[in-house]
């Protein structure tokens, strides 16, 4: 066993082979610096300055300037106040605490796919990381929002709204204020498609939401018009039509398919037409997943209709960029 090293000097140590060797500082894991106090709003955080300087551009620049501290407390700790005037993004004690939590428990936050933090926690981390230049933590927060909450991949869309009005609104504001355009489309769509949309953000005092009021109302109207145009069955014309009864004389199954379609769309309050009045993208998905085939309904007609509905979904999803005003968003 090697002799215990004098941790106060780190000058020499006895190696396993009995030879004396000089102990040198590791080129990376040798932290200089001191504890400092970071004040956010009315709350103080006591943290190590070298860790902050390593991760944050704002702290790196601040700490590199002699005399840049705002005060020194009775214990001799330098105090740095995170103000709001020069950041452009508001950093609250809650958002800064969320960021520090992520730094202290990085393995949990960075590697775990099974326990994704709540949406609000990720947004808090994103705000603080964006404002203070914690680039790695900003990238992590953006990737989690994109993957687990606001993916623009059409395959991830469900037939029912995924998130509450409040969560959608938070994502929209976060997207604009933290410059994360990749999450905006899905967040706007999830808000517009909700039946209770009009009870939500139109009265919200946030300027971002107010500026979108007319755009969102227009998009909602467009979606309703698109769904209304599909109130009756229209079997698209595709290249592979040879097996379809539409090309027989007479077409014995077309009327049966049309009757089943009308019943499914308009049967009482649970009919698809009412369910998806403002969400034809999900409505078309529901149509494509239904088992239509019966002895009275042509298999070829069903396949053509399903292919048409899937293609139609993609077209509507692409057109949403225009309706939501995203073509002008950089």
- CB-count burial class (<10 Å; 0-12, 13-18, 19+) for 324: buried
Residue that the structure tokens 């049966």 belong to: 256
Q: Helix axis angle, 184-192 relative to 213-228, nearest 10°?
A: 60
Bridge partners, 36 (sequence order): 47
Alpha helices in 164-295 (DSSP H): 165-177, 184-192, 207-211, 213-228, 254-266, 272-275, 280-289
pLDDT of residue 258: 81
pLDDT value at position 12?
A: 41
Q: 35-148: what CATH class? A: alpha beta
- Measured at the CA of 151, the angle between CA 148 and CA 152, to 5 degrees, comes to 175
Residue 5 has a pLDDT of 40
Residue 115 dihedral angles phi and psi, to the nearest 5°: -120, 75
Structural domain boundaries of the chain? 35-148, 228-320
The pLDDT of residue 4 is 41
Would you give per-residue pLDDT tens digits along the chain (330 residues)?
444 444 444 444 444 555 557 888 667 666 677 899 999 999 999 999 999 999 999 999 999 888 777 778 777 889 999 987 567 888 999 999 999 999 988 777 766 666 688 999 999 999 999 999 999 999 999 999 999 999 999 999 988 888 999 999 999 999 999 999 999 999 999 999 988 875 544 455 677 788 888 899 999 999 999 999 988 776 655 444 445 555 444 455 557 888 888 888 988 777 899 999 999 999 999 999 998 878 777 777 788 889 999 999 999 999 999 999 997 654
Compute how many other C-beta atoms are within 10 angstroms of the C-beta atom of residue 184: 21
In whole angstroms, give the CA distance from residue 119 to residue 108.
16
Q: How far apart are CA 190 and CA 187, in angstroms?
A: 5
Element (H, E) at 38: strand 35-40
CA atoms within 13 A on the CB side of 330: 0
Classify strands 43-48 and 12-14 as parallel, antiparallel or unpaired: unpaired
The phi, psi pair for 227, rounded to 5°, reads: -70, -35
């Amino acid at each position: 066993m090697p002799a215990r090293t004098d941790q106060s000097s780190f000058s020499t140590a006895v190696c396993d082979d009995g030879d004396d060797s000089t102990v040198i500082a590791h080129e990376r894991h040798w932290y200089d610096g001191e504890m400092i106090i970071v004040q956010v709003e009315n709350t103080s955080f006591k943290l190590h300055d070298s860790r902050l300087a390593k991760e944050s551009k704002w702290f790196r620049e601040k700490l590199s300037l002699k005399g840049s501290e705002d005060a020194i407390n009775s214990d001799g700790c330098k105090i740095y106040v995170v103000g709001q005037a020069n950041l452009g993004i508001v950093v609250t004690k809650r958002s800064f605490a969320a960021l520090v939590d992520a730094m202290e428990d990085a393995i949990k936050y960075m590697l775990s796919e099974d326990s994704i933090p709540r949406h609000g926690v990720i947004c808090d981390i994103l705000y603080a990381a964006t404002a203070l230049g914690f680039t790695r933590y900003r990238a992590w927060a953006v990737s989690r929002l994109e993957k687990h909450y606001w993916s623009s991949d059409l395959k991830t869309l469900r037939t029912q709204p995924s998130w509450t009005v409040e969560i959608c609104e938070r994502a929209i504001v976060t997207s604009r204020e933290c410059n994360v355009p990749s999450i905006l489309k899905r967040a706007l769509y999830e808000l517009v498609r909700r039946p209770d949309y009009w009870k939500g953000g139109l009265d919200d005092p946030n300027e971002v939401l107010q500026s979108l009021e007319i755009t969102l109302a227009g998009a909602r109207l467009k979606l309703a018009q698109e769904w209304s145009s599909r109130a009756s069955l229209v079997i698209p014309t595709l290249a592979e039509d040879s097996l379809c009864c539409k090309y027989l004389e007479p077409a014995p199954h077309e009327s049966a398919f049309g009757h089943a379609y009308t019943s499914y769309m308009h049967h009482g309050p649970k009919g698809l037409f009412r369910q998806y009045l403002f969400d034809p993208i999900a409505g078309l998905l529901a149509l494509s997943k239904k088992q239509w085939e019966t002895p009275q309904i042509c298999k070829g007609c069903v396949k053509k209709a399903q292919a048409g509905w899937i293609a139609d979904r993609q077209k509507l999803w692409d057109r949403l960029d225009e309706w939501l005003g995203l073509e002008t968003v950089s």
